[in-house]
Amino acid sequence: MNNFDFKNPTKIIFGKDTIEKVKEEIPADAKVLLLYGGGSIKKNGIYDQVKTALVDIDVTEFGGIPANPEYAKLMEALKVIKDESITYLLAVGGGSVIDGTKFLSAAAVYDGDTPWDILTKNIRTEKGMPFGTVLTLPATGSEMNSGAVITREETKEKLAMGGPGLFPEFSILDPQVITSIPERQLANGLTDAFTHVLEQYMTYPIGALLQDRFAESILQTLIEVAPTVLKDPTDYKAASNFMWSCTMALNGLIQKGVPTDWAVHAIGHELTALFGIDHARTLAVIAPSHYKFNFESKKEKLAQYGERVWNITEGSTDDKAYAAIEKTVAFFHKLGIDTKLSDYTKDYEGTAEKISERFTNRGWTGLGEHQSLSPDKVEEIVKMAY
């Protein structure tokens, strides 16, 4: 096992009817900016629950943050923060609203001229404006980590940012919120969380027995609850296990002491930036090709995953590893998630070259757990995913 430091300061408030506890977490004298997305919270009652809880607190609102939070829109919110002397941010939404809020937390204290530099120059935020979240969509783990991904339509870019100052102070996780989520987004959430675990697991053995078991148990739980989550999101047992699995998949715990990959995400983000494909679906497109392309260096973990998660007992290490990739693809298909780029766009020709060129220009010349995936290899992987 590798050496590691681990600190996660986010307070999690989990369970039924917990949204009203938001009032206990925000300082009474705060000037709050409540941030939300396209308005789903106004239809499903979450907005009312939050507003009722915050009746004694000074709250300004900013809605309309789109899926794949858009820089231009966030810059409007930044103006509100400055104009209204906001002191505390509250994200009520899924990964997009939470990520947008993290960007604002960083931008609010950033003293450069162009907040986009936070993304392009990899500026880590040591201390941002304090914020909390009310999670409405289990998927990204953003509610308990310090990363964010921001999109800029103007340049068709989607870039990551983060820093130790960008953990939410608290996150409220009421699994009942999933009852209003459309099936397509539930499938996205399951796929995103599943792939988060794979990114931190599908590398090479390093003797981290407990981390492997944590990772496998999250995968097993997602597989177990997926059919019920999709069929009946009012099933609280399934909903609560789904929600906690998504948070645990990307709150930092399972990546401690182990090598991590994240190439699937790096490539997938380009597909969202170029074609607007839902984040989770880009992962289902890239992961199978990535694992096939890097089969030799990943096959031991692929086989272990096949044995422990999919109960594949027959054959050699190679056989089990290959069967595990097939099982993963079948799982995505069962969720209703297509796994080829051509399923999403007719204009896929040239995508591989474009992504490889972008990575070269950004100096991303060695992705993956061995820092060995050069842009020409990325190009091959994307072509395999057509």
* 39 in contact with ligand NZQ (CB under 6 A): yes
Q: Of 145, 191, 200, 240, which one interacts with ligand NZQ (CB under 6 A)?
A: 145
Distance CA 178, CA 175 (A): 6
> DSSP label at 319?
H
* 164 in contact with ligand NZQ (CB under 6 A): no
Distance CA 204, CA 73 (A): 41
Interaction partner, residue 143 (Zn ion, ligand NZQ, none; CB < 5-8 Å by kind): none
Q: Residue 311 to residues 212, 291, 315, 378: CA-CA distances in angstroms?
A: 16, 19, 12, 31
Distance CA 57, CA 48 (A): 14
158: number of CA atoms within 13 Å, CB side?
Answer: 23
In the region spanning residues 303 to 332, those forming contacts with ligand NZQ, defined by CB under 6 A, are none
Distance CA 302, CA 293 (A): 13
Q: How far is the CB of 63 from Zn ion (least distance, A)?
A: 24
* 278 in contact with Zn ion (CB under 5 A): no
Residue closer to ligand NZQ (CB basis): 201 or 310:
201
Interaction partner, residue 148 (ligand NZQ, Zn ion, none; CB < 5-8 Å by kind): ligand NZQ
* 369 in contact with Zn ion (CB under 5 A): no
Q: How many CB atoms lie within 10 A of CB 296?
A: 9
Distance CA 93, CA 71 (A): 17
> DSSP label at 158?
E
Q: Of 192, 270, 369, 379, which one interacts with Zn ion (CB under 5 A)?
A: 192
* 159 in contact with ligand NZQ (CB under 6 A): no
Residue closer to Zn ion (CB basis): 99 or 192:
192
Which range of residues in 26-34, 142-150, 300-308, 313-321 is near ligand NZQ by CB under 6 A?
Answer: 142-150
Distance CA 80, CA 32 (A): 11
Q: Of 57, 81, 86, 139, which one interacts with ligand NZQ (CB under 6 A)?
A: 139
Q: Of 10, 40, 221, 304, which one interacts with ligand NZQ (CB under 6 A)?
A: 40
* 366 in contact with ligand NZQ (CB under 6 A): no
Let me know if 61 is exposed, middle or buried by CB neighbors in 10 A (0-12, 13-18, 19+).
middle
Q: Of 171, 185, 191, 200, which one interacts with ligand NZQ (CB under 6 A)?
A: 185
- Residues 107/69, Cβ–Cβ less than 8 Å: no
Distance CA 212, CA 296 (A): 19
Let me know if 364 is exposed, middle or buried by CB neighbors in 10 A (0-12, 13-18, 19+).
middle
Q: Of 15, 38, 45, 257, which one interacts with ligand NZQ (CB under 6 A)?
A: 38
Angle at the Cα of 59 from the Cα atoms of 58 and 64, rounded to 5 degrees: 170
Q: How far is the CB of 279 from Zn ion (least distance, A)?
A: 6
* 257 in contact with ligand NZQ (CB under 6 A): no
* 284 in contact with ligand NZQ (CB under 6 A): no
In the region spanning residues 91 to 130, those forming contacts with ligand NZQ, defined by CB under 6 A, are 93-97, 99
Q: Where would I find the beta strands (DSSP E) of 183-281?
A: none
In the region spanning residues 332 to 361, those forming contacts with ligand NZQ, defined by CB under 6 A, are none
Residues that bind Zn ion (CB under 5 A): 192
Residues that bind ligand NZQ (CB under 6 A): 37-40, 44, 67-68, 93-97, 99, 136-137, 139-142, 145, 147-149, 177, 180-181, 185, 188, 192, 250, 265, 279
